[in-house]
Amino acid sequence: MPKLEPKQIQQELEKGLIWPFYWIYGPESLKSKELIKRIKKAIFGSETVDDSTASFSIQSFDASDADVYSILDMAQSPSLLGGIRLILIRDAHLLKSAELLVDLLGPARRLSQLEAVCIAVSKDFDARKKFSKALLEKAAVVACEEIPESQREAWILYLAKRRAVELQPSQVLHLSALDPWSGIS
């Protein structure tokens, strides 16, 4: 599978297809946060991470101090309350022995066919590594590139609408000129 765009993942989620492993990388944190939020919603429905049922099914790891065996164990163990287990791996580019996670990879499937979903968030994607080649073949690799200036206004209006904030055209112009501007999410 080639690298995918966030919009492609969103379309798959709307069709009820979920990958067992997502590798989300790039400098644009707003896009990755939105994508993770949509994946969580597809898995847990209207439940939020604050809901106790969903929070028991979510496990987070920081790759700088996580053991790959702990991640594997968590992914292969059933959720405490049943259902899907969601594993979030932050700073995944720092994960040692990542190639051991290859057993968690596979094609997009219906939610009922999955026991766990892993989301690895990384600053980059090094296609030269053996594990990266496996990711490209058997996982959803999603690039979250910086939002170009030509699309900033649309993103600002989207964020304002989501937070029920009305902005004047001069405010939108000012916000789109900020650098870095995506940190305002």
pLDDT digits (tens, 9 = 90+) for 67-77: 899 999 999 98
- pLDDT the model gives residue 179: 67
> In the 8-state DSSP scheme, what is residue 19?
-
Assigned token pair, 47? 């439940």
Distance CA 54, CA 38 (A): 14
Residue 99 has pLDDT above 80, yes or no: yes
pTM for the complete prediction?
A: 0.84
Say which residue, 54 or 131, is predicted with more confidence: 131
φ, ψ at 32 (rounded to 5°): -65, -40
Distance CA 180, CA 176 (A): 9
Distance CA 40, CA 58 (A): 9
